[in-house]
Chain A
Amino acid sequence: MLVLKNWDTNLRSREKKTLWSFLFLYAFLVLISLFFVAFLYYDLQRELFLQHQKEALSNLTNEQINRLKTLHVTFDKERLYPRDERFNSAIYDSGLHEIFSTLRSQNVNLYDDIYIKEHKIYFIKELESYYLGARYIALEVPEPAHWDKKIYRTLFLYGGIIFALTVLIGYFLLKLLLRPMRDAISLLDRFIKDTTHELNTPVNTILSNIEMIDPKQLDPSLLKKINRITIASKTISNLYDDLTYLILSHRLSSHDETVDLKLLLEERLEYFSLLCESKKIRVGTCLEANVVMSIDRKKITKLLDNILSNAVKYNNIGGTIDVELHDKLIRISDSGRGMDASKTKHAFERYVRFDRSVGGFGIGLSIVAAIAKEYGLSVDIESKRDEGTKVSISW
């Protein structure tokens, strides 16, 4: 139950992130589709509206043509272009040259029979007889106010309903798709829980019995073998600690205290000294005194152990580890195999491993990230393949 709760906490934050990313993309695509459909619908409605306007405008045009006809006959006496307060008009010859215009717009599209431009409806008609040389007549009337209000209301109402429904469907669809992933992670976490439980007792027995052996009484060959057993046991012990932390982290309450980081680093280096010796790793230190931090001792120890463990684990035989402590900065550098710079941003993800030549579950740096996040520490990884890795913790 405990494991399931923890798994739930971790997965839910990841799941939420995935859900939001998916929903954002899904909503974006749905919106694009809806806009396209809305555009088609609006265009269709506008065409219908213009078709309704066409009949009335055609009647007005006929009235104007009759006036032009009269003017054509009496042009030698009368030169006043017929005007009407209901509309503006213009006449054009067959070469599309403007003969006369009372229109507000100078650019009229004579190839379209009816259209809306800048809140005006333009209606174009070709004359059967070219009175005054006019082959085309254009009428300009104001666009009726808010004729498209109903269309927009319909679009927003139905668009909103369809959008909400599709997003809801997308949400449940994604939940359904994520279920196998949830089951797989659940299985993995349950396996880790069972494994750690079975590891604890034998490892503790081995370590406590080794501590009881007096090294001075052993011959060098046996001492070497005992040291190897100690290293192996400590490695298992570390792994056990990590897995326990992973499972119990949300249940562990913090007991913050002032920790002298110089002393702590020296203690942890001593803990790893046997492991370093086994790989002939040279450890260099530059530790400033009196650098303290208010933090849970177990958690900062876990954080440092994981970084030091990686520095040893991924180091070459005869390599180096440099540990620096300055005011508000801890830096642990190694001369190991490193990793590609592009991969460093994924290093903190749980179960992510870039080098499978050594053992591990890929949980060390995710624990480092969790502790750093809890205490507002900044962890920066710089790495170059075959040159080494530098981990800086600042606060």
Chain B
Amino acid sequence: MVKAVGLFFICVAWAFGSESVYERHCVPCHKDMPVKIDKFFYRYLLKYSSETEVKRAMTHYLKNPTKETSILTDGLINRFGVKKKTMLSDVALSEALDTYWETYKVFNKLK
């Protein structure tokens, strides 16, 4: 019995340990939204262009989300509201945004 419980905890820890911050804290919420997470990325890209600018704008919004700094249209904001302030630490947030950038970036993907 003790062995089985121990094995269960190890599996849970491994499963959570292998998931990135982005997968644990970003994907689950966006998964259920009508606007997919990649569409947010391309809206940011359309407005901020470079990796540095995009990440800086995202960090700023996630730490202080307001209607004015959101890239969503007024219609979507009125419907879904402004998200809550992130609880992630600076390091974890930076790590999540790095993964987000690497997942959807345009560099090396065009043929």
Contact = CB atoms under 8 A, between A and B. Distances in A.
> Do A and B originate from a single complex?
yes
Interface of A: 72, 75-76, 79-81, 93-95, 97, 99-100, 129-135
Contacts of A97: 50-51, 107
Majority secondary structure of chain B interface residues (helix, strand, loop or mixed): helix
Contact of B46 (A76, A95, A99, A129): A129
B49 A134 contact: yes
A99 B110 contact: yes
A80 B111 CA distance: 5
Contact residues on B (Cβ < 8 Å of other chain), bracket: 10 to 19
B30 interface: no
Given A94-B49, A94-B50, A80 B42 contact: no
16 contacts: A72-B42, A75-B106, A79-B110, A79-B111, A81-B110, A81-B111, A94-B49, A95-B49, A97-B107, A100-B110, A129-B47, A130-B47, A133-B45, A133-B49, A134-B49, A135-B49
Interface of B: 38, 42, 45-54, 106-107, 109-111
Contact of B49 (A75, A81, A93, A100): A93
B4 to A, nearest CB: 43
Nearest to B36: A76
Contact of A95 (B45, B51, B106, B109): B51
Given A79-B111, A80-B111, A99-B106, A93 B51 contact: yes
Given A95-B50, A133-B106, 7 more contacts: A79-B111, A94-B48, A94-B49, A97-B50, A131-B46, A133-B49, A135-B50
Contact of A76 (B38, B50, B53, B107): B38
